[in-house]
Structure 1
């Protein structure tokens, strides 16, 4: 999987583009002026794994929240600006690490003032094109890409090149078309997302397919999953998406069979216990995240079909076999199999690992 070459842009202590890992962004959902709730939510997002946090700046009272966030958390903060030039200037003055502008609702003369301030401060700007605010001339894809290119030219004419671009719509087809087009025309890093995806299975599928298709094609440098869910849930989905594509690893991969009439053990209960214990181990031993662990219900699916796993178990009649790389190393009762598996995993990671894989970022 080859990644598109882009410029490297710095946001606080995080880099976007170039050879930097695809980063995960989150956005707070509470009013930014409510500093107590803001800090609590931002901390949850940070602990969930976000590397950049964005906050909405709707009015001057929100600037206080932005300042407080910068003081309390060591994470890059992006100020999301619509309509008001003054708010962007105040956010820059107050320490925002990046500004997101929507050219669809900010006049060019105001954008110029914002660019001047950002240039003096040395922070980047995301040109955030949104299908809901772009002026339609021809197709939606044409209109969004044209708006992005016009704004890029405006910034480049001012010798400002610290630019990140996004072109978001609620539809997979339109979003993918926009990013494919812009990726052929400029080398600025791209922020991926499906806006207004909604919630539930359909929203999840839209976000994963839309963002995932682009990443698989090597397009995209930072992502934000947008769901009508908790902000922490968005981060968990983003991490799972990057790991599913083997772009980054955050935790061990546990594979398990769907179960069928051949299963003669309580596989779901065993899987629940394995997941809990592995989650605990992942916090203690960083190497655990690089393992693939199989939990199979019968001898058909494991160890044969699961031989690619570093370690795993496969059920029989009230018993499980324990295997490594498809080779059986023991047989144990269902009641003790989880303990045996976890003990063996601990041995693997404390002895330097056995069949570990490395973090697999895109090759450039």
Structure 2
């Protein structure tokens, strides 16, 4: 998470039962880096059962580096998304084909048929790392490219530890998952900086229920508002649970692509964003979302070679490339052909 200074700017997460909190396991990055078999099993269990987990970064040198860069990116959210509207519109994204750039609030319909109220600036990893010719970004980002690069590199270092343990648990060759999303290979991997305004305490839906389409997501936030629908629960309002931010931790969740690759063993959970709980709603809400996507040209074919991932049987393997599949799936959801719902897992 960002620094204690960022947490101190907001009221604490309310403790009363009107804001039910999901039971999300916490995994130690230090223990994973040390090769703990028990912690590796706990990671795999969380990826199968909840699809969400906290990773405690506080006792790891690499984790502390990521926390420091996360704090710098939180400052960058405020400096970028508070620019005047006419400036931000110069960097507008081309949704749904590409979300790189600025998305103003009110473009998307949410679950209650109102419009979203989240502003988003999506930063391309390829742009920042030099895998493609430089893109044009607002001045605060251009003047902080070094820190943006530091965030991408440190975030991937942490994510790669998790992928290595998933290789082990799925009986894949070491480095299998890392090789499909390496930093030096062009991909749609990105960092989303989100800002929503202060709101009444009425639990408005800011971003409707969805799953992430990529491999794995790393999230930083300070205030509440993110909710998950627990496994096996009917999609009705009273079943949704808040995810309470934990200082010193990053929140991780599994995406649809990894669920598909692993034959449905891992859970991609339905989640949404609502107004922050209690007094937290009185202040703007910020969050950072690092979305790891596979390298361009990779296919949606199921991973093979181990004894854990189930074989296809009579099913046909999906040979579409990951980017075409992602655009198709996003369009299907936008057109109402596919209903967003949790996928895979226990």
Q: What TM-score comes out, normalization by structure 2 length?
A: 0.23
More helix by share: 1
